Chains A and B, each alone.
Chain A
Amino acid sequence: MIVLNELTQAIGDLDEEKVMEMLAEFVYSKPTENEAQEVVNACQQGMGIVGDLFEKGEYFVGDLIFAGQLLTEAINTLKPVIGGKSASKVGTIVLGTVHGDLHDIGKNIFRSMAEAAGFVVHDLGTDQPVSNFVEKVKEVNPDIVGMSGVLTLAIESMKDTIDGLKKAGLRDGVRIIIGGNPVTKEACEYVGADAFTSNAAAGVKICQGWVR
């Protein structure tokens, strides 16, 4: 019998060996779909611990990358027993790195943490023109738009993108969060976003606050 809080803690500790051992045993025990869903939730809560430790300065970006990988491996192991039932979705995010910028590490960390928190994330990729953000927002009608960038030029591109959403009449229907190395309070006001962060875990918390 799997002990859920032990699993949550093992994910939080990034103890890969223990996590994979617990999950292998669990899958072998032929659990029901509901039991499997509880285990998925326990894993997701483990990501919450990782996020908290990151905010406290005990974990760093490298640890978040590993955590994302660990969660992916965990979910893959559980796939045979999860069945068709999908977890409850808390909200939808359209995410991308803005035009001119090819960096994606921060964006990918945010995506894996947002997905772990139950968001459906439509990831456009890197160096995305304004039109791609606009089209995707029209198509999926998200709660939130997340824009990422590492270069200082990304600030201008974020402004372009938000202006594009305004022009298309889509700005008021979404919350916008910007993330990455160059974002600051001033940059956030300048581009017209609702929130900013250089901390993926804190960014997910902001998004959770918006859809609650």
Chain B
Amino acid sequence: MDHANKVMIEQSQQRNQNFIDIYEGRMPKKIPIAINIDGAAALEYAGKNLILDQYSADEMIEAMDYTNGLFDTDLVVGFSSRLPSYYKILGARNYVMGGDGFMQHPNINGIEPEDYDELINDPVKVCWEKVIPKFYSELAKPAPYNMIALLKMYVSMKNVMAKIGPAAAHIAAKYGKVTQKFYSKRTRAPFDLLADTFRSFTGISIDIRKYPQKVLEACEALLPLVLKMGIPAEKPSKTIRVGIALHMPTFMREKDFAKFWWPTYKRMVEYITEAGFGVYMFCEDDWMRYLDYLKELPAGCEMQFEYGEPKIIKQKLGDKHIIEGLFPISLLRTGSIQEVERKTKELIDILAPGGNYIFNLDKGILRASDAKVENLQTLLKCIREYGVY
């Protein structure tokens, strides 16, 4: 093995270890960095055509390689599993492409208020019979056309992933990035699943006033389903994280949150933790109102915050949970190199003491215009130099 290879392998191992240390409750040598870059942004950084090239595994791999070389992140970045080809084959209405090629989730409902009883009784049946045909026009067709569509999508996914998987491993080795798999399955809070998949943001906001009892019962009915979606197949370990993006709480009043959203979510996190896995949650928007609730969750949850007061978050949760996020992505777009450095150090000074901290932005980089290349490079360099224990 040549020297350069050996250096990269050691670097990968060190970076793996920083995450392992955090997840197992030890002080790492350096602050791990969980910054992620979406596939769309990677294609744009690499100068490719988003609309066309997101259909080609080879183009995506080239863009991933380029982007991972450009930015010294800990994680292999630049791939989105939400590829338009899958959704197009299925005739999806729940993820659709904007005018410039970027995939988005419109405000769409899978069921009507009168379907609540059926949902409460058998949520899987309602998914098959109502939600899936409504969201995917190709799956609404009679057999065998629906089966053919599903098979096409499956084969397409297999073809893409058969190339992406080895390419990602190759890229990790080439640039000395994290090689261990930390982020496993993804799932949703029961209330968020009810909102985003079944009733829409608008629908659920009305339902909690019109049909409060049904909403409560539906969350209970969805709890086993979100756990089935979320429990990883791997051997239980705190280094394996179940990802949960939290959506609705900050759009609700506290008393509605406490009544409808929180109880089933808390039980869900307790169950995942008792099963031996860790949880990664993205606390979308500003969670300052809910910090005391988050404190109730079993110790060691990884919590990425978007907005809020870093000092208060650290003070309230820093001993119990792993804090992440809060670096304003807007600064990478509009700020100067000096401003980026200053903010990075300021955040590290507040959040790093005592460990339990993973560096991240307030949200993922979705498009190349979100972060100037030199700003993101400066940020990463600054964390590497300054974020040493």
A172 within 8 A of B: no
Binary B-proximity of A148-160 (CB < 8 A = 1, otherwise 0): 0001110010000
Q: Determine if B366 and A152 form an interchain contact, defined as CB atoms under 8 angstroms apart.
A: yes
* Known interface pairs A102-B96, A127-B99; A190-B366 also in contact (CB < 8 Å): no
Task: Tell whether A184 is near chain B: CB-to-CB under 8 Å.
Answer: yes
Binds B, one of A29-37, A42-50, A55-63: A55-63
Q: Which of A58, A66, A151, A182 contacts B102 (CB 8 A)?
A: A151
Is A186 an interface position by the 8 A CB rule? yes
Task: Decide yes or no whether B252 CB sits under 8 A from chain A.
Answer: yes
Please tell me which one of the listed residues A61, A104, A151, A187 contacts residue B205 in the complex, with CB atoms under 8 A apart.
A61
- Give chain A residues whose Cβ lies under 8 Å from the Cβ of B253: 58-60, 62-63
Interface check A143, CB cutoff 8 A = no
Q: Is B370 an interface residue (CB 8 A)?
A: yes
A81 within 8 A of B: no
On whether the beta carbons of B251 and A60 are closer than 8 Å, the reply is: yes
- Assuming the contacts A61-B251, A65-B206, A184-B330, asked whether A153 and B201 have C-beta atoms less than 8 A apart, the reply is no
Q: Are B367 and A62 in contact (CB under 8 A)?
A: no
Partner of A101, one of B98, B107, B202: B98
Interface size on A (CB < 8 Å)? 31
Task: Name A62's contact: one of B96, B100, B248 (CB within 8 Å).
Answer: B248
Q: Cβ of A105 and Cβ of B107 under 8 Å apart? A: yes
Minimum CB–CB distance from A101 to chain B (whole Å) comes to 6
Least CB distance from B362 to A in Å reads: 11
Chain A residues lying within 8 Å of B252, measured Cβ to Cβ, are: 60, 62
Q: Within the assembled complex, what's the spacing in Å between the Cα atoms of A59 and B367? A: 33
Q: Which residue of B lies closest to A69 (CB)?
A: B206
What is the predominant secondary structure among interface residues of chain A facing chain B?
A: loop
CA distance A102 to B103 in the complex (A): 9
- List chain A residues, Cβ under 8 A from B370: 152-153
Contact A62-B99, Cβ < 8 Å, known A16-B209, A69-B206, A102-B104: no
Question: In which size bucket is the chain B interface?
Answer: 20 to 34
Chain A neighbourhood of B369, CB < 8 A: 152-153, 156
Q: Which residues of B contact A66 (CB under 8 A)?
A: 205-206, 209
Residue interface bits A84-103, CB-to-B below 8 A is 1, else 0: 00000000000000011111
Bound: A69/B204 CA distance, A: 12
Q: When chains A and B are docked, how far (Å) is the Cα of A100 from the Cα of B50?
A: 12
- CB of B329 within 8 A of chain A? yes
Quote the shortest CB–CB distance from B36 to chain A (angstroms): 15
Binary CB contact string for chain A from 170 to 185 against chain B (1 if under 8 A, 0 otherwise):
0000000000001010
Chain A interface (Cβ within 8 Å of chain B)?
14, 16, 58-63, 65-66, 69, 99-105, 108, 126-127, 129, 151-153, 156, 182, 184, 186-187, 190
10 more A-B residue pairs beyond the given contacts A66-B209, A151-B366, A186-B330, with a C-beta to C-beta distance below 8 A: A59-B253, A60-B250, A66-B206, A99-B98, A100-B100, A102-B104, A103-B107, A153-B102, A156-B369, A187-B334
- Would you give 15 A-B contacts (Cβ < 8 Å), ordered by A? A58-B253, A62-B204, A62-B256, A66-B205, A99-B98, A99-B100, A100-B102, A102-B96, A105-B201, A151-B104, A151-B366, A153-B102, A153-B367, A182-B330, A186-B334
